[in-house]
Amino acid sequence: MNKRILVVSAGLLALVVFALGVFFYTQQQAQQAAQLAQANRTALVRPHSPAFGNPGAKVTIVEFIDPACETCSAFFPLVKSLVGGSSGQVNLVMRYAPLHKGSDEVVKILEAARMQDLYWPVLQALLKSQSVWVVHHEARPERVWDLIQDTGLDVAKARADMNSPRVAEVVAQDIADGKTLKVTKTPGFFVNGKPLVDFGSDQLKALVAREVRSAYGK
Amino acid sequence: MTSTTSVQDKSWLWVFLAWLVALTATLGALFLGEVMGVLPCVLCWYQRIAMFPLVIILAVGLMPFEERCVRYALPLAVVGWIVALYHSLLYWGVIPKDLVPCGEGASCTDVKAVLFGFVPVPLLSIAAFSLVVVILSIVKKGSRNE
């Protein structure tokens, strides 16, 4: 009976040590991520980054997005409502983190759509039809064109634009900034430079609410 | 009578020790993979498949003590040890890398698979499997001599 107690308590002790390890490790990681974002503020928003909402808003959500990422698609309505429902206090800046295979080509299509002022409608159409053009976690850029035609995009022009050096530059800069900020999963959120470490929709809402409170008082 | 009991107690203690090693290795692997986000390579998965069940099998064998559990645990530990040996040889370049069956995911020879800056994870694995194999062999030998 003594032995049983020994085994059970050793097992429990191991689990407690494990839990403590998780606690301290995640806390340390969160601290590091915050410091990293603080030290690399210029990497968060670039002049070329597409923005949504009131440019004068005091709270900025930076989202590193991969159009082929399912969670990005699921989060998009929430992110938009956080901006739309803020009466001008919150805006959104999009950065690319094409982590899926083939996704970098789709990101270039988005940039080409931006040249025709169709960034948001095309992004919306892409996220909605994701299941058609993302197959087994791999983006198929060729399937995209039919799905975004309804937005009024000049496809021939976009096909040419997406291979322009300017687009390549923007995408390369975003990928480099994502690496600097250690965005290894998408969507990657930063609110006024503070990373969303504990990922989740409620946590994102809370972080935005906290930043709005500290920026606008109340 | 007393001597049988003490032999049994000794065997129990050995199996308990092997269980502690398996438990530590299992939780360590989970911490590395799930908390620190180090992706397990293919060979790591095979070693996990051998290591994780040892925690359950040995725990069941410990309460109440059943020496037969060694018969079930030892083959698993030996298989895991073989994979760990292969992995370690790959890691140190004894076996050429182009023979590696690691197509997708993390590389089995990734130098980043290092703990505290200097302990390679494959070394930890082979150490854990070696300990379990040796301990369980001692128990098996002891029971045969009885």
Name the residue in chain B with its Cα closest to that of A12.
B23
How far apart CA B146 and CA B144 sit, in angstroms, is 5
Using CB atoms within 10 Å of the CB of residue A211, give its burial: 0 to 12 exposed, 13 to 18 middle, 19+ buried: buried
Query: Residue B104's pLDDT is what?
Result: 47
The torsion angle over the Cα atoms of residues A87, A89, A93 and A97, rounded to 10 degrees, is -100
The B residues from 51 to 80 touching A (CB cutoff 8 Å) are: 59, 62-65
Residue of higher predicted confidence among B146 and B59: B59
pLDDT in tens, chain A (218 residues): 588 899 999 999 999 999 999 999 988 988 888 888 888 888 889 988 999 999 999 999 999 999 998 899 999 999 999 999 888 999 999 999 998 888 999 999 999 999 999 999 999 999 999 888 988 888 888 888 888 888 888 989 999 998 999 999 999 999 999 988 888 888 999 999 889 888 888 999 999 999 999 998 86
- Say which of B20, B35, B62 has its CB closest to residue A25: B35
Burial B96-108 (b: 16+ CB within 10 A, else e): eeeebebeeebeb
pLDDT over threshold 60, residue B99? no
The reply to whether omega before B96 is within 30° of 0 (cis) is no
**Residues 9-68, chain A: which have Cβ within 8 Å of B?**
10-11, 14-15, 17-18, 21-22, 25-26
Task: Output B22 or B100, whichever has higher pLDDT.
Answer: B22
Count of helices and strands (H, E) across chain B: 4, 2
pLDDT given at position A40: 85
| DSSP category for residue A197 | -
Residue whose structure tokens are 């049994």: B8
Determine the longest span between alpha carbons in chain B, in angstroms: 59
Angstroms from B35 CA to nearest CA on chain A: 7
Q: Give the nearest partner residue to B12 out of A3, A14, A26, using CB atoms.
A: A3
ipTM: 0.78
Q: Is the pTM of this model over 0.90?
A: no
The pLDDT tens digits of the residues spanning B14-58 come to 999 999 999 999 999 999 888 887 778 888 899 999 999 999 999
Answer for the pair A53, A88: CB distance below 8 angstroms, yes or no.
Answer: yes
Q: What is the mean pLDDT of residues B58-73?
A: 92
Residue A187 phi, psi dihedral angles, 5° rounding: -70, 145
A215, two tokens: 């920026």
pLDDT (0 to 100) of residue B82: 95
What is the per-residue pLDDT across B128-145, written as a single tens digit (0 to 9) for each? 999 999 999 999 888 776
Nearest residue of B to residue A19 by CA position? B31
Closest by alpha carbon to A191, among A56, A55, A54, A93? A93
Strand stretches in A45-152, DSSP E: 51-52, 59-65, 90-96, 134-135, 138-139
To the nearest whole Å, the CA of A180 is away from the closest chain B CA by 18
Pair of tokens at residue A152: 């009024």
How many other CB atoms are there within 10 angstroms of residue B3's CB atom?
8
Which amino acid is it at A76? F
Measured CA to CA in angstroms, residue A132 lies from A29, A136, A139, A199 at distances of 36, 11, 9, 27
Cβ partners under 8 Å of residue A194, min gap 6: A34, A37, A207, A211
* Contact (CB<8Å) B23/A4: no
Residue partners of B106: CB distance under 8 A and separation at least 6: B38, B39, B40, B41, B44
In a mutagenesis test of the B interface, which of A6, A18, A198 is the best target, namely the one with the most B β-carbons within 10 Å? A18
Which of A3, A17, A26 lies at the smallest CB-CB distance from B63? A3
Q: Answer with the residue of higher pLDDT: B116 or A45.
A: A45
Q: Which residues of A touch B30 (CB under 8 A)?
A: 18
- Nearest Cβ partner for B63 among A7, A17, A25: A7
Of the candidates B24, B27, B62, the beta carbon closest to that of A7 is on: B62
B1 pLDDT band (50/70/90 cuts)?
very low
